[in-house]
Amino acid sequence: MRLNGKQVLLTGASKGIGRAIALLFADEGADLALTARNADALNEVAEAVRAKGRRAHPLVWDVRDVGRVDERLAEARAALGGLDIVVNNAGVVRLPGDHPDPTEEAAWDYLLDINLKGLYFLCQGAAKILQEQKSGVIINLASDAGMRAAPNAYGISKWGVVGYTRGLAKQLAPHGVRVNGIAPGPVATEMMNWHPGESMESPGLPLGRYSLPEEIASVALFFASADSRAVFGETIVVNSGND
């Protein structure tokens, strides 16, 4: 098992890519502190992790509440007995409900606060811990939209994640901490308005289908494990060939 005995803090763990990462990491021997806003969905994932024989500690938390970063990190470390890996997966593509104007100020605040601000402050808190112990991994979930210029809040937020990931990696590399990113494209998740039982086909993609959450999780496992021990500041695109 590639993560045997590792302690992981994973945000956005209640569904989609986060759920897939939690279950794969548990299969590989990790114990996890799991965060999300939906307590019921989060507890379901925690139970699924425990069913695999690993520890799971659910933390109901909105990453926009950056004032609680140190508290949440301390709680995760206490529950797991340490911290080796932080996966910043929490993210959104639009305001909840019916908001037809993606350029309105509310959309900017909502997307940037979750996708970039929350990630930044959690990285800063985690970096202090990992630098001190001179080991650890941070994995940031960006988007293929963040790999190209975009005149919208979502693309800008994910562009920021890509750039920050590279900058933080250079800062932490001398301290034995690896930082890398993943840029998914269209993935078969609720966030993409895909629901179980629906077709995964997407003729507009070169691969002809959406990516699976498990396919994103496998890249996260690569970054979390010693397999990527010489990789710093990279963002791997997983998008079914999407341009």
Q: Which domain holds residue 183?
A: 7-238
pLDDT at position 103 is 64
Render 97-137 in DSSP notation, one character per residue.
S----TTSHHHHHHHHIIIIIIHHHHHHHHHHHHHHHT-EE
Q: Is residue 88 part of a domain?
A: yes
Render 127-187 in DSSP notation, one character per residue.
HHHHHHHT-EEEEEE--GGGGS--SSHHHHHHHHHHHHHHHHHHHHGGGTEEEEEEEE-SB
Q: Is residue 181 part of a domain?
A: yes
Please list, residue by residue across 82-102, b when 16 or more beta carbons sit within 10 angstroms of its beta carbon and e when fewer do. ebbbbbbbbbbbebeeeeeee
Q: Is residue 145 part of a domain?
A: yes
Q: Is residue 2 part of a domain?
A: no
Q: Is residue 61 part of a domain?
A: yes
Q: Is residue 100 part of a domain?
A: yes
Q: Is residue 1 part of a domain?
A: no
pLDDT at position 102 is 58
pLDDT at position 195 is 60
Q: Is residue 103 part of a domain?
A: yes
pLDDT at position 198 is 63
For the chain, how many structural domains are there in total?
1
Q: From the candidates 120, 154, 164, 210, give the one annotated as an active-site residue.
A: 154
> How far apart are the C-alpha atoms of 67 and 64, rounded to whole Å?
9
Tokens of 177: 């901490």
pLDDT at position 194 is 57
For residues 162 and 127, the answer to whether their CB atoms sit within 8 Å is: no
Is-catalytic flag, 154?
yes
CATH number of the domain to which 58 belongs: 3.40.50.720
Residues of the chain with pLDDT under 50: none
